[in-house]
C-alpha cells in the first residue's frame, strides 16, 4: 500500500489536482491537457481517469484547490481587519493562478473549500452585526470588487510597476494618437510615470468600500 514496485508514488485525486494546478500555473489553462497532466505525473493519460471523472471534474477540482489556498477570515476578530486580510489573500492567490478567474465563470458546482470559504465570510459579516439583508449586500459588494479587481489585473498585459510604459505605448502606437485622447493622457501623464503600480489601486477601493459599509453599521 505504501509504494508500488516502480519508484513513482501512487496517483490519487489529490496528486492529480495538484499537478493540474502546477501545469496550469506554468503554461496557462490551455496547456492543461490530459496528456500534459499525465506527463507531469509520470504516468500515462488513461491513468488519471481512475482518479477523476474527466476533464470537467479536473476543472471543478482545481478551482476548489485555489479557493482552499485563500486565507479564511475569522468571525472572532475585527471584521474589517479580517475581511481585508481575506481580500488581500484572495488577490494574491488569484495572481498566482490567473487561469482560475476565467474558470470561475463556467463552473457552477462549488466544491467544499469554496463553500467553506463563503461560509466564513458570511460568518464574519454576521458576527460584525450586519443584518441578513445587509450581509447579502456587503457580501455581493466585497466579492464583486475582489474578484473583479483580480479579473482586471489578470487581463493586463503587464505586471508590477515600471512595466506599464512599454506595453501601453506599443498598444497605443497601433492606433491614431488622437483617437483615444483620455486614454493617451492617462497613459503618458500618469500610468507611465514614476513606477505606477495598478495593484496599489486595490487598497483604495477596498478601504472605500469597507468605510462605507462600516458607516451603515452604526
Nearer to DNA, 11 or 125 (CB): 11
Nearer to its own copies, 15 or 80 (CB): 80
The alpha carbon of 182 is separated from its chain's Cα centroid by a whole number of angstroms, namely: 30
User: Considering only residues 104, 113, 159, 192, which one is a binding residue for its own copies as defined by CB under 8 A?
Assistant: 104
Q: Point out which residues bind DNA (CB under 7 A).
A: 1-6, 10-11, 32-36, 38, 43-47, 49-51, 54-56
Q: Which does 183 bind (CB under 5 to 8 A by kind): DNA, its own copies, none?
A: its own copies
Contacted entry of its own copies, DNA, none for residue 56, CB cut-off 5 to 8 Å set by kind: DNA
Applying CB under 8 A, the span of 19-27, 43-51, 81-89, 193-201 interacting with its own copies comes to 193-201
Residue closer to DNA (CB basis): 32 or 100: 32
- Show the 3-state SS of 152-182: HHHHCCCCCCCCHHHHHHHHHHCCCHHHCHH
The DSSP 8-state label assigned to residue 131 in this structure reads -
Q: What is the dihedral of CA 106, 109, 115, 118, to 10 degrees?
A: 30
The span from the CA of 194 to the CA of 189, in Å, is 10
Amino acid at each position: 500500500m505504501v509504494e508500488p514496485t516502480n519508484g513513482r508514488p501512487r496517483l490519487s485525486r489529490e496528486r492529480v489536482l495538484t499537478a493540474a494546478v502546477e501545469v496550469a500555473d506554468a503554461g496557462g489553462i490551455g496547456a492543461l491537457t490530459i496528456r500534459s497532466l499525465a506527463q507531469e505525473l509520470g504516468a500515462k493519460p488513461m491513468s488519471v481517469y481512475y482518479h477523476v471523472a474527466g476533464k470537467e471534474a479536473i476543472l471543478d477540482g482545481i478551482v476548489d484547490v485555489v479557493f482552499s489556498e485563500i486565507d479564511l477570515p475569522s468571525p472572532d476578530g475585527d471584521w474589517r481587519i479580517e475581511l481585508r486580510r481575506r481580500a488581500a489573500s484572495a488577490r494574491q492567490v488569484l495572481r498566482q493562478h490567473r487561469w482560475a478567474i476565467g474558470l470561475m465563470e463556467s463552473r457552477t458546482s462549488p466544491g467544499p473549500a469554496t463553500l467553506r470559504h463563503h461560509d466564513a465570510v458570511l460568518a464574519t459579516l454576521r458576527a460584525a452585526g450586519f443584518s441578513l439583508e445587509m450581509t447579502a449586500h456587503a457580501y455581493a459588494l466585497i466579492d464583486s470588487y475582489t474578484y473583479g479587481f483580480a479579473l482586471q489585473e489578470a487581463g493586463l498585459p503587464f505586471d508590477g510597476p515600471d512595466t506599464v510604459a512599454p506595453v501601453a505605448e506599443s498598444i497605443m502606437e497601433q492606433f491614431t494618437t488622437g483617437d483615444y485622447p483620455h486614454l493617451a493622457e492617462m497613459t503618458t501623464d500618469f500610468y507611465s510615470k514614476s513606477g505606477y503600480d495598478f495593484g496599489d489601486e486595490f487598497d483604495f477601493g477596498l478601504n472605500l468600500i469597507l468605510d462605507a459599509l462600516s458607516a451603515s453599521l452604526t
